[in-house]
Amino acid sequence: MSATADRDPKDIVYVNGSFLPRAQARVSVEDRGFVFGDGVYEVLRAINGKLFAARFHNQRLERSLDGVRIALEGDHSPARFVEIGRQLLKENNLLKGQATLYMQVTRGATIRAHNFPPPDVAPTVYISVARFTPYTDLAESGASAITQPDLRWARCDLKTLNLLPNVLASQTAKERGAFEAMLIRDGVVTEGTKTNFFGVVNGSLRTHPCDSHILPGITRSVLRDLARDLKIELDETPIKVSEIPKLSELFLTGTTTDVMPIVKLDDKPVGKGRPGELTRKLQRVLAESLASGGD
């Protein structure tokens, strides 16, 4: 895999009001992120200092915060996080080229107890940036994927830190030489461990509908709009496991994945075993959208 998140030597991050070197950025062992995974996050893409689809990421962060009932305090808001992100891009010399912006909010640090902390405990905010190199070669050749059972909870629509099932399935994929694990719940493909997916079955573009079993991906949504502009109809009827052999094209989407063709699934070729025509078309229009800065 060609994508890497290299560290800039300066490597300044933001934690709770302070800008400081990553090596000094620490949180309490009592932080609810650390003991309960009690928080939410977003990952944004920066191209030459411009954040792609920031408005949509902000909306989704608000939605995740609401979903887990974390209320931000002081001047903290998703819009402020994006400002901090811009400052971090500048401080870390990432205004040229590509980078990712990571922002995370937890329910704060307090004596461990499942119930929410007392009102005087402020959420913990952690924001960082990293150099990003897109998966250019793999996007050209196409990647492989495996299927894995979807063991996740019933609110996958919230972008939370409870990512252990994603971690385990992703690692299994890596060990089998695959780029991603596509998750199967109740006989249908839901999404990948960190991507959504689109597939072509009998000439029709399909993906899982936005319900509580998938993350409402920003790139998924951008792609849906781009497809609509191209008069390509999207059918949000989930792809059944039994339909997998009928897939003529398959691709993943995500903030750092863009449109990634999947040419092999569970060691069997998808369609002709190379990126399909529709995949290439959507790859192109997404690249144009990214280059123009999106919204």
Q: Where do contacts with a second copy occur on this chain (CB under 8 A)?
A: 5, 7, 13, 15, 22, 25-38, 41, 68-69, 102, 104, 106-107, 111-116, 126, 128, 130, 149, 151-155, 160-168, 170-171, 174, 193-194
- Is 115 or 202 the residue whose CB approaches a second copy more closely? 115
Minimum distance from CB of 217 to a second copy (Å)? 15
Q: Which residues are catalytic?
A: 159
Neighbours of 119 (CB within 10 A): 8
| Least distance to a second copy, CB of residue 15, Å | 6
Pairing of strands 247-254, 258-265: antiparallel
Q: Please identify, using beta-carbon distances, which residue of 184 and 287 lies nearer to a second copy.
A: 184
**DSSP structure string for 178-203:** -SEEEEEETTEEEEESS-EEEEEETT
212 DSSP assignment = T
* Min separation Cβ 97 and a second copy, Å: 18
Q: How far is the CB of 28 from a second copy (least distance, A)?
A: 6
CA distance 162 to 32: 12
- 104: Cβ–Cβ under 8 A, 6 or more apart, which residues? 33, 39, 40, 41, 124, 125, 126, 127, 161
What's the min distance (Å) between Cβ of 212 and a second copy? 9
Q: Which is nearer to a second copy, 197 or 206 (CB)?
A: 197
How far is the C-alpha of 134 from the C-alpha of 87, rounded, in Å? 22
Q: Which is nearer to a second copy, 26 or 272 (CB)?
A: 26
**Residue at token pair 């890497």:** 4
User: Beta-carbon neighbour count of residue 9 at 10 Å?
Assistant: 7
Residue 127: other Cβ atoms inside 10 A: 24
Q: What is the dihedral of CA 138, 282, 254, 152, to 10 degrees?
A: -100
CB closer to a second copy out of 131 and 281: 131
